[in-house]
Amino acid sequence: MNSSLSLEDFELIEDYIAGSLDSAKLEEVRMRTISDQEFAAHIEEIKGLQFGVERAVLASKLDSFHSELSHLDKNAQQRKIRPLWFWGVAASLFLIMSAGVWWIMGEKSSGEKLYQAYFKTDPGLVTSMSAGSGYDFDRAMVDYKSGEYLKAKEAFESLLKKSSQNDTLIYFLAMSELNLQNDQAAEKLLLAVSEDTASGFSKDSFWYLGLLALKEEDYALAKKYVNQSGRPKSNELIQALEEASGK
């Protein structure tokens, strides 16, 4: 543009071209185009710029569309010339893969399936991340809640060296081990917390002990632990494990 255009006038012209002005503003623009040739020239320039942009976008879309058509056409030609033996091999591979998936899924016991259906990791505790004495614990909890279970495990282990009887540390170390698939280590720690009746994590420990027993298909022990957990889903899980065990 040959001369400066205020932002207000630019927006006014954009709205005029888009057809979004009310009758009063529309009349104002029409009167200005008659009395102000420079303003009228700005309108034509902006129209030309918008048209150019639209054409460029359309051309880009058409190029992309033609490219996709060409790609599809090549694929279609390749499909046409594939011999019958190709489809025989493909069918054989599909059957082998399907059998493999069926075998893997079939290998899971009823207990493992129930474990996967009911296991949800403890969400963790709220942290303040202040610079006080609890910072190391807060940092460990942030790692745990972020799914960085190995980092959390190492941090909780370090904290336990200073406070070996802390049930909160033992419990979340157990949960870290559980999420790392270290079931035996997790079970040992959970047992310690479950036996501490004064602990606020005792019942939660029973729930996860029940799930671990379920995973091992020890349905009687699983039922005992799940009952002791007092979880809202206890009855539902007990019914499911009774059906799985045929009792």
Average confidence (pLDDT) over 182-208: 96
Same domain, 134 and 204: yes
* Residue 50 neighbours by CB distance under 10 Å: 13
Query: Does residue 153 or residue 36 have the better pLDDT?
Result: 153
| CA–CA separation, 219 and 233 (whole Å) | 16
- Read off the pLDDT band of 7 (50, 70, 90): confident
Q: Structure tokens of 124?
A: 């963790």
Please check the confidence at residue 105 and state whether its pLDDT lies above 50. Answer: no
Q: Does any domain span residue 189?
A: yes
89 assigned to some structural domain: no
Q: What's the pLDDT at 244?
A: 80
Tokens of 194: 């479950």
What would the mean pLDDT of 202-209 be, rounded to a whole number? 96
Other C-beta atoms lying within 10 Å of the C-beta of residue 95: 10
Does residue 128 register a pLDDT over 90?
A: no
145 shares a domain with 76: no
| Mean pLDDT of all residues in 91-110 | 52
Q: Is residue 92 part of a domain?
A: no
Tell me whether residue 95 is in a domain: no
| Structural domain contains residue 169 | yes
CA angle 42, 48, 52 (to 5 degrees): 145
Residues with Cβ within 8 Å of residue 12, at least 6 apart in sequence: 21, 25, 29
CATH of residue 179's domain is 1.25.40.10
pLDDT tens-digit map of 8-31: 788 788 888 877 788 888 888 888
Q: Are residues 120 and 234 located together in one domain of the fold?
A: yes
pTM flag (> 0.85)? no
Boundary residue ending a domain (23, 55, 81): 81
Return the pLDDT at 14: 81
Residue 189: is its pLDDT beyond 80?
A: yes
How many domains, the chain? 2
User: Residue 47: is its pLDDT beyond 80?
Assistant: no
Residue 230 lies in a domain: yes
Which structural domain range is residue 121 located in? Answer: 116-245
Does the pLDDT value for residue 130 go beyond 90? no
Based on the domain organization, do 13 and 66 belong to the same domain? yes
As a whole number of angstroms, the distance between CA 37 and CA 14 comes to: 17
Name the band, by pLDDT with cuts 50, 70 and 90, for residue 207. very high
